[in-house]
């Protein structure tokens, strides 16, 4: 599989996905524990 960071769009999309994943993680496991 091609590394998504090799393309600019792959990098931006990876950043958006990571933001979403961390947002869900923070809301479920960190905030309001």
Partner 1 sequence: MEHAMGIFRWIHFMAGVMWIGLLYYFNFVQVAALKNAAADGTAAGISKHVAPRALLFFRWAAVVTWLAGAALLGPRFVPAFTLSGGAELIGIGAWLGTIMLFNVWVLIWPNQKKILGLVPASDAEKNTARRVAFLASRTNTMLSMPMLFFMGVGAHGF
Residues forming the site for partner 1 (CB under 8 A):
3, 5-6, 8, 11-12, 14-16, 18-19, 22-23, 26, 30-31
The terminus-to-terminus CA distance of the chain in angstroms comes to 38
Least Å distance, CB 31 to partner 1, is 6
Least Å distance, CB 1 to partner 1, is 15
Q: How many CA atoms lie within 13 A of 10 on its CB side?
A: 7
Q: Which two tokens stand for residue 15?
A: 């950043």
By beta-carbon proximity to partner 1, the closer residue of 1 and 3 is 3
């Amino acid at each position: 599989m091609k590394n998504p960071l090799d393309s600019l769009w792959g990098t931006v999309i990876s950043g958006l996905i990571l933001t979403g994943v961390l947002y869900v993680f923070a809301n479920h496991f960190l905030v309001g524990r």
